[in-house]
Structure 1
Amino acid sequence: MPVSPVRLNHAVLFVTDLDRAERFYTHVFGMEVAAREPRANACFLRLPRSGNHHDLGLFGVGADAAPKVPGGVGLYHLAWQLDTIEELAEARRTLTDAGAYTGQSSHGATKSIYGADPDGNEFELMWMLPRQHWGEYENAAPVEPLELDAELARWSGVSTAGRITATNTGEDNS
């Protein structure tokens, strides 16, 4: 019988400078420190709207650690879902201001911008179309240019991430 998780609960990254990485994620993502573990040179961060204990763990491994190899085996990126297309546009401004913006694309059912933290760990910030509008993208994930202004005009005010709750209420949060 296969294992059947509900969703990814958290991710953990090795970083060269723990303080620098913590500043990046608290400033750019608005995360708060949920816990620190000095013996492991680690901190655990929570997203502001999360009901989770922590969404991201950071373990400082020092400046002498082997660098990330682009295109090498291992984690490619983390994807963080936003609730509205307006939040995606604001995220692009925030990443640009932080010098962390690396690009954007449309994947049909999702609209995405990309960035990298100070250690080169890539991430995606994405907004998903309402489920009933996936249409031809039900079983496709193209990589196409993102026309964010057009998407803002079309989807302004549409919330799709749903409510995150600490307990399963049985409600459909899509």
Structure 2
Amino acid sequence: MENLFNVGGVELPQPFKARRLGHVGFYYDDLAAAERFYTDILGLRVSDYLKFDPEQPPAAIFISHCTDHHSMACISSGLADKCDVDYLRGVTLNQISFQVGTLEEVVNGYRFIKERKIPIWRVGRDFPGSNWAFYCRDPDGYHVELFYGMEQIGWNRISKPVAMREVEGEEPSLPQRSEQQEIHDALNDDVELYEGHKSEDLTSSDYVVGGVTLPRPFKVNKVGPVHLFVRDVEVSEAFYHDLFGLVVTEEVVWRGHRAVFMRLGADHHVLGLYPLAMRQELGFSELTTVMGTGIEVCSYLQLRDAVEYLDGLGLKRGPKVPSELLPGIDHAISYIDPAGHCVLLYFSMEQIGWDGKPRPAQQRRKIEAPWPESIAALSDTYADQTLLGPIG
């Protein structure tokens, strides 16, 4: 009989439920170049910097497309040289982070993973971002985070002030103060709440996007999925399924190689696992074991306009991946970031219903070349969760 855990009154195989891919982090030799790529070019915004010395450049840059404090972290590779034993063999992914619904789940998840002798990287509360979390290593050395309580940044674009950053480096004790209580206590301590980092994108708004003027002809709607090259797909699949509760949506065999696509919710997948042997065959950089990260824009029209815009900037395109190796993703095109990571731009992710079955491959859209001006709607077009609030 399988041992089940009570998670909010529901019996599950793990003592937590990973709800979504929250954010990803990558190492960069040139943080300034990474910042320009993701902000000036792709339109995300800087929400915070991590500095160990006020007189020195930042050690990390936190970037967001939404109200989450960050959906991407750009980390100095100098930190990887000091603390990440797998960096030198190409593990340039600093973290892949899954969100749970409660702090209790983080604590129980930490104990669950630790009891199974999985290497723990760190545990506690992270700043910038305010989230409680623990990190462990997967079989390839990728850091996997389970977190709760990501700081939210509202209309004024101001992050929490440094004075409210109470870093914790151990298993959280329960219960903790609510965020409302933290703010109340900070006010009583005369903390100036509006001294956090404020992001601004004051470049000219030359493009009309859905009736709103923006600096670019598109708006990033989501970060993810993450696609990784791994040494043993079967071992990695078992790790993410048995320990973190991801479910296999689909597997694809290509030229004798088996790739697996795993989900958390209705999106076809948040994680793609490809055998490392495919990296050279597909033409990806041998400097990184990361195949790529998806970035979703809000519509097919925006995707077409984004391609024209990014090609016009002279951005380097990534390898062309056969469509069967990107199941669940409709029209897509990739570009290369400053560290050689592939960024996959797309507009639509197939949605999985209550029965857990993906759309049969023969019923998926056939991608025309060149792309037409408009395309027919599918049953799940615009059905996935979308960006709430103003697009700019």
Cα 1:129–1:31, aligned 2, differ >3 Å: closer, same or farther?
Answer: closer
Task: Give the SS at the match of 1:100.
Answer: coil
Matched, 1:90 2:302: no
Aligned partners of 1:163 and 1:146: how far apart in 2? 26
Q: CA deviation at 1:26?
A: 0.5
Partner of 1:169: none
Task: Give the SS at the match of 2:25.
Answer: strand
Report if aligned partners of 2:23, 2:71 keep a CA contact under 8 Å in 1.
yes
Report if aligned partners of 1:95, 1:101 keep a CA contact under 8 Å in 2.
no
Partner of 2:75: 59
Task: Give the SS at the match of 1:154.
Answer: coil
Q: How many residues align?
A: 156
Consecutive unaligned residues of structure 2, counting only runs of 5 or more, are: 1-12, 53-57, 82-87, 91-283, 353-357
Instruction: Select the structure of larger CA radius of gyration.
Output: 2
Q: 2:386 aligns with which of 124, 145, 163?
A: 163
Q: CA deviation at 1:154?
A: 1.6
Q: 2:291 aligns with which of 72, 76, 90?
A: 76
Partner of 1:45: 63
Consecutive unaligned residues of structure 1, counting only runs of 5 or more, are: 167-174
Aligned partners of 2:384 and 2:302: how far apart in 1? 11
Q: CA deviation at 1:90?
A: 1.8
Aligned partners of 1:74 and 1:4: how far apart in 2? 27
Partner of 1:23: 36
Task: Give the SS at the match of 2:334.
Answer: strand
Partner of 2:342: 122
Partner of 1:147: 369
Report if aligned partners of 1:83, 1:161 keep a CA contact under 8 Å in 2.
no
Q: CA deviation at 1:80?
A: 1.4
Matched, 1:101 2:323: no
Task: Give the SS at the match of 2:47.
Answer: strand
Cα 1:159–1:41, aligned 2, differ >3 Å: closer, same or farther?
Answer: same
Report if aligned partners of 2:349, 2:384 keep a CA contact under 8 Å in 1.
no
Q: CA deviation at 1:162?
A: 3.8
Q: CA deviation at 1:139?
A: 4.5
> For residue 80 of structure 1, what is the amino acid of its counterpart?
I
Q: CA deviation at 1:72?
A: 7.4
Aligned partners of 1:24 and 1:73: how far apart in 2? 18
Cα 1:72–1:26, aligned 2, differ >3 Å: closer, same or farther?
Answer: closer
Partner of 2:359: 138
> TM-score w.r.t. structure 2 length?
0.34
Q: CA deviation at 1:17?
A: 0.6
Aligned partners of 1:155 and 1:108: how far apart in 2? 18
Give deviations 1:90-148, integer Å, cap 9, x for gaps: 2212332242323556456422111110110111111226759xxxx615499x86535
Task: Give the SS at the match of 1:86.
Answer: helix
Aligned partners of 2:76 and 2:89: how far apart in 1? 13
Cα 1:59–1:108, aligned 2, differ >3 Å: closer, same or farther?
Answer: closer
Give deviations 1:44-89, integer Å, cap 9, x for gaps: 0011xx1321111001225xx7585835773221111222111111
Cα 1:23–1:164, aligned 2, differ >3 Å: closer, same or farther?
Answer: same
Aligned partners of 1:54 and 1:14: how far apart in 2? 15
Aligned partners of 2:76 and 2:288: how far apart in 1? 21
> For residue 58 of structure 1, what is the amino acid of its counterpart?
C
Q: Identity, % of aligned pairs?
A: 18
Task: Give the SS at the match of 1:124.
Answer: strand
Cα 1:125–1:35, aligned 2, differ >3 Å: closer, same or farther?
Answer: same
Q: CA deviation at 1:28?
A: 1.8
> For residue 334 of structure 2, what is the amino acid of its counterpart?
Y
CA RMSD of aligned residues (A): 3.5
